[in-house]
Amino acid sequence: MRRERLAVLAVCALAALGLAAAVEAGGAGGGSATGGSHLTVHDVFGLETLELQAFGFNAKTRADGSADGWYTYREVDDGAPFVARGPVTCMTVIGNDAWIGGTITDSNDPTVVGAGSWWHVTDSGEGAGAGAPDITTFLGIGTAADTQAFCDDHPAYRHPFPIDGGNIQVRPM
């Protein structure tokens, strides 16, 4: 009887250790961020009108710290369209904020193909319970090192803009 009880305790202890490891690995994932947004601002960055027509993204951080996902970005600067698309390469999620980076693999501006890109979003809540609109930045463009540094350093907003429409969801893991 005692031997059986010890065996059961040993099996329970091993199961608990396995569950703890699984929870730790799942928790190390770092979260996810998805969304679609649009907004129009005036008299910023030397432009009369800057319209973010469509900004869609889906990003998640895996248990090993790597990021996965995609983004599609379309803005019009004083009538001149700019489009960029690519995979997500890094992300940091803290609370309801996400700092996301990627690589531009397709664009109507061939000079930026292969460049790094980044943006910061805030999920302000859902529906009537949301105290304010969700927030985004416009797309930053630079080197792959700049992109990784943005995700790693998760800087405070420099130019946050409340979205006019859409929804951003940030989920810490």
* Same domain flag for 6 and 43: no
What's 47-101 look like in SS3?
Answer: EEEEEEEEEEEEEEECCCCCEEEEEEEEEEECCEEEEEEEEEEEEEEECCEEEEE
Per-residue confidence (pLDDT) for residue 128, from 0 to 100: 63
Closest CA to 75 of 154, 167, 141, 146: 141
- Phi and psi at 61, nearest 5°, equal -105, 130
Residue ranges making up the domain that contains 78: 32-171
* Same domain flag for 123 and 158: yes
* Same domain flag for 68 and 4: no
* Same domain flag for 65 and 143: yes
* Same domain flag for 94 and 37: yes
The total of structural domains in the chain comes to 2
* Same domain flag for 64 and 124: yes
* Same domain flag for 37 and 73: yes
* Same domain flag for 15 and 39: no
Closest CA to 130 of 99, 173, 170, 76: 170
pLDDT one digit per residue (tens) for the chain, 173 residues: 444 433 333 333 333 333 333 333 333 457 999 999 998 988 888 888 888 899 999 999 998 989 999 999 999 999 999 999 999 999 999 999 999 999 999 999 999 999 999 999 999 988 666 678 899 999 999 999 999 999 999 999 989 999 998 999 999 98
